[in-house]
Structure 1
């Protein structure tokens, strides 16, 4: 009995609490009075202007232009809504009206209580005409939605774009976003969205029985003041950015320039270059989709921050520093190069020229001696005899302190981790006790499993310039004119290599430019330290890679350049890095012939060849000289899901071979006829 009474009292208590809560909400709050379903009070939203985006010198890169749209709220739709007169007002047919309403209701984010976008891009003529009579249609409102105005024709990978929010975006901040709202989808527009978007304004307008506005609800007591977005000043020097992108014309790759004194990204170019003007206008979604679907050039793939490359011989700088920190070599250690590093019946070739004579680390850097750094890597992995796992883990740990092999927690919208392997990685790949020094010897020269983005390569170059520390690279310098204060960006990060080991490495880098593998870029205008890199890849010509520090005595810029399939590091990447440094340090370029030759270099043919080879491997290549009938036959085979890729490739090759035979016979007959 007691248990039954307790249950009764619990139910009564819950009921009382429930009734009290309802009474409070109805009598003492305005929440339900201000609900969109309340047809006597209408909420009008004001979309704020997004903040401007400027370069470090105050040049406006992104602004705003006026734009308006019509929104629809189902809960405020009148029962006697005059569809014909409304359609006449907005210049659409009833059929179009019904289709738009149907599409709105089919939206996954649809709600009767939420304003949904009905019509975008109203012209000034539309606005003048509709504003006069829109009060008659309570379910519809005119909302200002400023359109972005890109004032430059490059740097699309940095700036990014805005677009309509999807369901996932709305869920990320449901207190702010409504269906049809715009938000940053990539670049700075995305990473600094909360600063750029501002604060929406909300005005509650009271209506009479004829649904005419009779003034603000309770004198605007519950209105929310609109606040424009905050202006963003980037660390980017737009002139430098523009130069980097021009030098990458008809090439693929990435260029990153950093001020080592504060980690500010001065330029971050990715090629192919995106013109941000395609991100605005009525056809912007079509253009964005085309860019996203371009699987050949991948322009939306930011090669400066996302593409992972073997860093090649530029990685020798880190291997030398880590080896000295681990105590397995010092600045006086010498090795003798016999045209390369030999192990078993294999070898890593070398063209350093210092053959059969002992050389130290500075000379090994100067002429990029593969043997020196292979021997150094052997010593690293032998530091703990019979315990290669402990040796490589120590090596990996020190390496990662340079910002490679991990996300650097920067303020970019995209990025890649890269790869610095450790014992766990190799145990998973090969199996425990099934790998050894010579299995992974390619790591010694920046090949093997080593991967890094151009941003990471530029960052470890900045750390070398600073003799052992770096600032996390970042793209924003100030917000609303106030310099950033985030400790992640303004406090230096120390590497795990002592300062005393850097001088010999920097000396070697200076020798690279003065008398080593990058003599081509030497100039009397400013001093430079550099390192060439040539990264092998299985798909074509080697990648051209170069890192540069300038001036040598008081560094102001650190540059990393990767040109896909550009060959030797000093051929293309070196001149690009040096020209960027010259522009930044002097304000102009004197070596105009070098600039012109690099800009004119065109690798489009090589990229087309690689793409065709890829299509051949997957059985989707169609030679351009085939007849329409043959092409149609090939397409039918390719679309047959019952056939395996191997069988498809075999059938397609047979068709092509038969076509070629017929062409040869036809040519022979023609030749005989002409001979007669």
Structure 2
């Protein structure tokens, strides 16, 4: 009996010891929560932030730099309840209520710990920081930290560069540990598109601390520290001086300019007007109120990037492309003449008036003088290629060709929020007319042949059309990135692919001749540059209010160096403002100056004010 009792007691001890051993194993070997908590208590993991990669133009002129940003942090356990709160609030220019909000957190939130530093205030000015440093000994638990934030040496290129913003919880959750509370990331523009390359990699410094959370010494002599890796420098294809020149020309105008190097697809200029100073959106600025003001400006829409987001009817700049399609489909020939008496009629239908030419035009002449009658006719013949009663098949044939020219979808430009424009298909018109039980024929959509109607393009697509014609049938996708500082990185492969357009090269000659004659003795005399063969086409995009002024071009005629599109809202006909502005941009890029005998055109455009008081 006695032996049985001893065995029971021994069994209880053994069982208890086994349970305790298993629990200890769970705590020490399997469950890391206690280990992590102990580590947080003894080690201070101080994040070391990398320097964000700089951004340069094609000539290595700095576009985006870094400047110090001072933050105030707190270890709550070290807070002295007897500290001079009034002085502290005075130094930071805050009230007592704000102070309480800043230092008291939801301690149940796993992001915060009373023994772990957290940010109290951001964007402390260098002047305020200097004064604050003199009094820091009075405020136990508080300490300052310096981080780099973006600054912009120039007031140019806001839409291209973009800006940074603090990450939200959703972005933190989806970042796989890359971001944490208080981090910044690119939100729009190049800052967003190349965030991974620009941000670098954070490091960490381990400091031993006591039971009050005070740093004592570097842990293990710094052997476990990880140093931050700076972000890559980004070299763009932008020409800063050309960009600034274009922005000056677009002052007091709404619209956009895009210029491309046809041989590479590199974007030389991409600007949207009305714009803003990129420094206004810096982390260190009072950007919340600035952003609200710009975001509610429904007339000028300064945050709206008109170079890639705005969709416009291209007007007559589409005529050279329509001519190429008609030639490729065998529906016209280079020497075929189509008469024009200043109008175009089909039965009783009267279409948009044309210049009173009273002459028959071939392809080159029709482009030179922008003859609507010529392009109404070839559009009608293309849509009716498969029969008068089957216009859908003909229209879709035209749209398929336009898609090869990079229209109707995004070009994958490395600028955020690119729009794809609009190419109307037969399906669209079937739905539109079937609502009323009607059918449609070619005569209902002839305006597409002169770049009007439901057809819409972005300015970057217009510039790319000019590049395709300049190259006689191919293009590289327009892009801003040129190279990175790191030898291990290269630009995306999609920007190296040569995209061919299915148009015989022999057809480009007469079309380009017509574009050259449009400058020399046609619709765009103000675009003529002495000593440079410019090939271009004017367009007038119809609008409810004043028409929009459109122009695209490339130069020189042989071995072209620049292709450009200019769209000016409410600027009138294409030759009035868009054409001279484009020619000034071309001349500035190729010659680095404007000829004296053309200074009057420069002054005219610099001083032109096309802004209107109300919406159009």
The TM tier, using the shorter chain, reads: 0.7 to 0.9
- 2:383 corresponds in structure 1 to 381
2:583 aligned to which of 575, 578, 583: 578
1:557-597 Cα distance to aligned partner (Å, 9 max, x none) = 00100011111101100000000000000111112110000
Report deviation, 1:235.
0.9
User: Shift of the alpha carbon at 1:517?
Assistant: 0.8
Aligned to 1:417: 420
Is contact 2:341–2:356 with CA below 8 Å preserved after alignment? no
Correspondence 1:601 to 2:608: yes
Matched, 1:262 2:274: no
| 1:46–1:143 contact (8 Å) kept in structure 2 | no
The answer (yes or no) to whether the contact 1:464–1:506 under 8 Å persists in 2 is: yes
Partner of 1:339: 342
Q: Aligned ranges for residues 67-466 of structure 1 at < 5 Å?
A: 67-72=69-74, 77-78=76-77, 81-85=79-83, 87=85, 91=91, 95-101=97-103, 105=106, 111-112=112-113, 116-122=118-124, 123=126, 124-125=129-130, 128-129=133-134, 136-137=140-141, 142-220=144-222, 222-280=224-282, 281-355=284-358, 357-385=359-387, 386-431=389-434, 434-466=439-471
- The unaligned stretches of length 5 or more in structure 2 are 1-20
* Contact persistence 1:116–1:180 (CA under 8 A): no
Report SS of the residue matched to 2:123.
coil
Number of the residue aligned with 1:503: 509
Q: Residue 493 of structure 2 corresponds to which residue in structure 1?
A: 487
Deviation at 1:433, TM superposition (A): 6.4
Q: Do the aligned partners of residues 609 and 367 (structure 1) sit closer, same or farther apart at CA in structure 2, a change above 3 Å counting?
A: same
Structure 2 distance, partners of 1:35, 1:61, is: 44
- CA gap 1:214/1:155 in 2 versus in 1, 3 angstroms: same
Distance 1:149 1:371 in 2: 53
Deviations 1:427-458 (A, max 9, x none): 23332862221221110110000100111100
Cα RMSD, aligned residues only: 2.8
- What's the counterpart of residue 15 of structure 2? none
Judged with a 3 Å threshold, the aligned counterparts in structure 2 of structure 1 residues 29 and 237 are, in CA distance, closer, same or farther, namely farther
Q: Tell me which moved more, 570-579 or 46-55.
A: 46-55
Question: What is the DSSP-based 3-state SS (H/G/I as helix, E as strand, rest coil) of the residue aligned with 1:364?
Answer: helix
Shift of the alpha carbon at 1:550? 0.4
Question: Which structure is higher in RCO with an 8 Å CA cutoff and minimum separation 6?
Answer: 2
How far apart, in 1, do the equivalents of 2:320 and 2:373 lie?
14
CA distance in 1, matches of 2:38, 2:348: 79
Task: Note the C-alpha offset of 1:89.
Answer: 5.8
Residue of structure 1 in register with 2:472 after alignment: 467
Distance 1:109 1:473 in 2: 45
Contact 1:116–1:179 (8 Å) recurs in 2: no
Rate the CA distance shift 1:285–1:107 in 2: closer, same or farther, 3 A.
farther
Alpha-carbon shift at residue 277 of structure 1 (Å): 2.1
Closer/same/farther in 2, CA of residues 109 and 387 from structure 1, 3 Å limit: farther
Measured after TM superposition, the shift of residue 168 of structure 1 is 3.7
Q: Residue 306 and residue 37 in structure 1: after superposition, are their counterparts in 2 closer, same or farther (change >3 A)?
A: farther
1:259 Cα offset (Å): 0.5
The two structures have a TM-score, normalised by structure 2, of: 0.88
Q: Distance in 1 between matches of 2:197 and 2:430?
A: 45
What is the distance in 1 between the residues matched to 2:103 and 2:556? 63
1:565 aligns with 570
Paired position in structure 1 for 2:522: 516
CA separation of 1:485 and 1:49: change in aligned 2, threshold 3 A = closer
Q: Is the 8 A contact 1:566 1:572 kept in 2?
A: yes
Q: Does the residue aligned with 2:268 lie in a helix, a strand or coil?
A: strand
| 8 Å Cα contact 1:109-1:167 kept in structure 2 | no
Once the two structures are superposed, what CA deviation does each residue of 1:276-313 show, in whole Å capped at 9, x if it has no partner? 12123341221122111211210110111111110000
**Counterparts in 2 of 1:435 and 1:384: CA distance versus 1, 3 Å:** same
- Work out whether residues 136 and 143 of structure 2, in 8 Å CA contact, stay in contact via their aligned partners in 1: no
Aligned residue number for residue 648 of structure 1: none
Instruction: Say if 1:218 and 1:434 are closer, same or farther in 2 by CA, change over 3 A.
Output: farther
Aligned residues: 581
Q: State the 1:484 CA deviation.
A: 3.9
SS for the counterpart of 2:351 is: strand
Q: Is contact 2:261–2:267 with CA below 8 Å preserved after alignment?
A: yes
Partner SS state of residue 349, structure 1: coil
Compared with structure 1, are the counterparts of its residues 35 and 256 closer, same or farther at alpha carbon in structure 2 (3 Å cutoff)? farther
2:482·2:491 contact (CA, 8 Å) conserved in 1? Answer: no
Uncovered stretches (5+) of structure 1, i.e. residues with no partner: 1-18, 612-676
Q: CA deviation at 1:112?
A: 4.9
- Alignment correspondent of 1:14: none
Q: Secondary structure at the match of 2:230?
A: coil
SS at match of 2:270: strand
- Separation of aligned partners in 2, 1:32 and 1:380: 76
